[in-house]
Amino acid sequence: MASVLSLFAWGVLLINTLMLALFALVVVRYRRKTQAINRVRLIAGPLSILVTVGATLGSLYLSEFGELSPCRWCWIQRVFMYPLAVVLVIAWLTRDRHVRRYAVPLSLMGVAASIWHYLLQHVPSLSDAKSCSLTTPCSVTYIEKFGFITIPWMAGSVFALVLILLIGFRSREGRIG
């Protein structure tokens, strides 16, 4: 399982790097910006699907094969990630022009839950929050790679990347990509 967790951590580092590059592409002005944005639009939909389906399968792997019991905040993040993956797949297949109406709120609530869960793990005064159980505490960090990547960081990274792709790379038809 250690090698799979390392693979997940390297994937999240890649997602974080990509997210920063895409954010910079959206906000920084330069001459060939339109060409670069158009190139990203071509892969924005499939990339959104890839990362959300990957995150869904990864969370199932951690609980079913890695035998990590999800805490309440892990479940809340799953409540937003699983439907987000399904919504994005259906929207891509049906060429839904209004997918942002459903996907942006799911991503926003998911990133908020991920941030709160990450804070529960790293801020000692929050670690005794009443929303978590004694059997599966939310403040326990089961996985930590590179000194900062935990399960909520992984989920939050996916939610944030999807938000950037949904908001920053809208096609003329209104679809993702």
**Pair of tokens at residue 130:** 């009443």
pLDDT at residue 112, as a whole number: 98
* pLDDT score recorded for residue 140: 80
State the DSSP string of the chain: -HHHHHHHHHHHHHHHHHHHHHHHHHHS--TTHHHHHHHHHHHHHHHHHHHHHHHHHHHHHHHHTS-PPP-HHHHHHHHHHHHHHHHHHHHHHHT-TTTHHHHHHHHHHHHHHHHHHHHHHH-GGGTT-TTS-SSS-TT--S--BTTTB-HHHHHHHHHHHHHHHHHH-B-TTSSB-
At 54 the pLDDT is 97
Closest to 171 in 3D by CA, of 40, 19, 23: 40
Structure tokens at 100: 């942002």
Q: What stretches in the chain show pLDDT beneath 70? A: 1, 128-131, 133-134, 171-177
**One-letter amino acid identity for 175?**
R
CA 107-9-36 angle, 5° bins: 60
Cα separation, 110 vs 79, in Å, equals 8
pLDDT score for 147: 92
Nearest to 117 by CA among 72, 87, 161: 72
pLDDT digits (tens, 9 = 90+) for 102-131: 999 999 999 999 999 999 998 878 776 666
- CA atoms in the 13 A half-sphere facing the CB of 112: 8
Domain boundaries in the chain? 2-168
pLDDT of residue 60: 95
pTM of the predicted model as reported, rounded to 2 decimal places: 0.91
Check residue 152 and give its pLDDT.
95
Give the residue among 155, 52, 156 at the shortest CA–CA distance from 99: 52
